[in-house]
Amino acid sequence: MYISHKYKLIFLRTPKTASSSLSEFFIKNIPDPDAIYTPVEDSNISATLSQDIINKYKVHFKYYHFTLQDLVENRIITPMAAIEYKSIAVVRDPVDRQKSFYYFYKRWKNQHVTPSIEEYNSWTPKGSFIGEPNSGILQSNILKYNNEMHGEYWLYENINNELNKLMHDLHIEVTHMLPQHKTDFRKNRNNEIVFDDKAMNNILKYFGPDVTLYNELAEETYV
């Protein structure tokens, strides 16, 4: 999460959508000493978010992935800011995102066991990964406030173009390039697990709104 009242900008961190990298980009490039943001452990960047909020939601680090609704309910922003500020989140192909989650968790769970679709399915009986509630967060809910979407989604594959346009519109010179965090756990993408019907049906069942959102945005972006 990154909030700049100076620039009326809100960036919300959807899990497994380059959110750590984008947070660091905004923190280092936007000249706002009063910005509010969550930590970026990869670069030892500490939070400016209230410690009370961090303590309240420290279980599973929920505060990293607040929705627009969460920000208002916790009085981090006002209802007016939720509606009037430029809010941004990234949407990623739900299938690729699930694979990213799998290989990310694989670093700590059964890392010496060869990856398999059977293991993936056993870890995701209801879509999200067992014991990892953040993996069940719907991308399509991140920008909702009072059940209405406020803001814009960026396509994961188009992040660099969107960043260039945003910084140009804000008249801010980019002095720090977008870092590449958490990219070392999927080194051989040509030899990854292939999702079977069970996995694909679960994605459609539990992440159907994300599939729709991603497909619609991809169609708009590449037309």
3-state secondary structure 40-105: EHHHCECCCCCHHHHHHCCHHHHHHHCCHHHHHHCCCCCHHHHHHCEEEEEECCHHHHHHHHHHHH
Residue 64 carries which side chain, given as an amino acid letter?
Y
pLDDT for 1 = 94
Give the mean pLDDT of 34-43.
91
Q: Cβ contacts of residue 98 below 8 Å, gap of 6+?
A: 120, 124, 195, 199, 203, 207
pTM exceeds 0.85: yes
Shortest CA distance to 211 belongs to which of 90, 94, 126, 91? 94
Model pLDDT for residues 82-133, shown as the tens digit of each residue? 999 999 999 999 999 999 999 988 888 888 888 999 999 999 999 999 888 8
Q: What is the Cα gyration radius of the chain?
A: 18
Confidence of residue 222 (pLDDT cuts 50, 70, 90): confident
Give the mean pLDDT of 186-194.
80
Residue 12 corresponds to which tokens in the numbers above?
A: 């919300």
Total number of domains in the chain:
1
Asked whether the predicted pLDDT for residue 223 surpasses 60, the reply is no
pLDDT for 181 = 75
Domain holding 127: CATH number?
3.40.50
pLDDT for 152 = 97
Model pLDDT for residues 145-158, shown as the tens digit of each residue? 999 999 999 999 99
Q: 22: domain range?
A: 2-222
CB atoms within 10 A of CB 55: 9
Confidence of residue 62 (pLDDT cuts 50, 70, 90): confident
Confidence of residue 32 (pLDDT cuts 50, 70, 90): very high
